[in-house]
Amino acid sequence: MATRLCPACGSPNPEKSAFCGRCGSRFPSPARDPIYVGRFQSWRFQVDPTDPAPQRDLRWLLLVLGFCSLVVSVFLLALYALLAAAVPGIGFSCGSGSLSCTGTLVEYLFLVPGLVLLAAGALAIVFVMYELR
C-alpha cells in the first residue's frame, strides 16, 4: 500500500487520505490544489486591497505616438517628393512683400501635414527622453 508523508509532522499516511492521521492537517488535493502541474509550479496570487492601484506611465505612450508620427511624416514627405518630381509646377510661392503664400492641393495634403507631424513627433520624443533621464 502506498503511503505519503504529512508535510506538517512527517508521519506516514495512506495515499488516498485527505487529512493526516496524527496531526489532522489537510493534504493538498492534486485535483483542487495542484502543487506541480507537469514541470511547472502553480502560482497563487493574492491581492492586498490596501495597495494603491498601479499608476500608468503616459510617457511611453507619448514616445510611441512620437515614433508613429515620425513614420507617418516620413511617408507623407516621401509621397510629396515623388509627386513633386513627377508633376511640374508643384511648390509654394510666396510674395516678397506679402504675408500670403499660395500652394497647390498636394502641398496642403502631403507637405504641410508631413512637416507638422515631423515637428510634433520630434518634440514628443525629445520631451520623453528629457523626462526619462
pLDDT tens figures, 74-93: 998 888 888 777 777 666 55
pLDDT tens figures, 47-84: 666 777 777 778 888 888 999 999 999 998 888 888 77
The three grid cell numbers given for residue 24, joined into one nine-digit string = 489532522
Helix segments in 1-133, DSSP class H: 58-86, 105-106, 112-132
What global pTM score does this model have?
A: 0.49
**Cα(89)–Cα(45) distance, integer angstroms:** 67
